[in-house]
Structure 1
């Protein structure tokens, strides 16, 4: 999946209160990675009406914290990303992508021999039509 396409779609999907956060994520998109089954932290989760951030601070607690306020998320991510660390993005997206964007991702998966991604995008294409 292309993180840049996801962020572009999210910019059109979410309300204006998320715009500064999404623009910041777009600037740092090279540090965003899709999560894996073992679910790395910090993890951004895109939900239908909200964006969540799960993050763990070893110096504060052994348990992760959940943030839901866009301004808090942006503040925390600004500090985290400024160190050069990665942030993971959940693979489950509620965003509605155009047929053209889905087809671009299918072609990219074919070029990169990404079978898992290919299956995901073909399934999404079948469900969108």
Structure 2
């Protein structure tokens, strides 16, 4: 390990220790959610009082992105469900047509036998 790598690793470790120390100093009315490697940064969720009413706040961009993603997934799922319904309705029509043709064929055959 080069001295430059060692310095970089030491800075990263000290930075982690500082973040842990900061998270331990959070007031009881707040909750800390840490970031991860997916690019989502750490967000502090806190409580604010307005007119005696307690309201919870989530970082607008993070909360908005999550909700937008959930909406896209629900819309995709709805689209898939509708495609399946359309497919089953087409299959139902095919089966009804085939059944009707077979019944007509049966009636014609019975009429010829008489």
Q: What TM-score do you get using the length of structure 1 for normalisation?
A: 0.23
Mark the structure with the bigger radius of gyration: 2
Q: What TM-score do you get using the length of structure 2 for normalisation?
A: 0.26
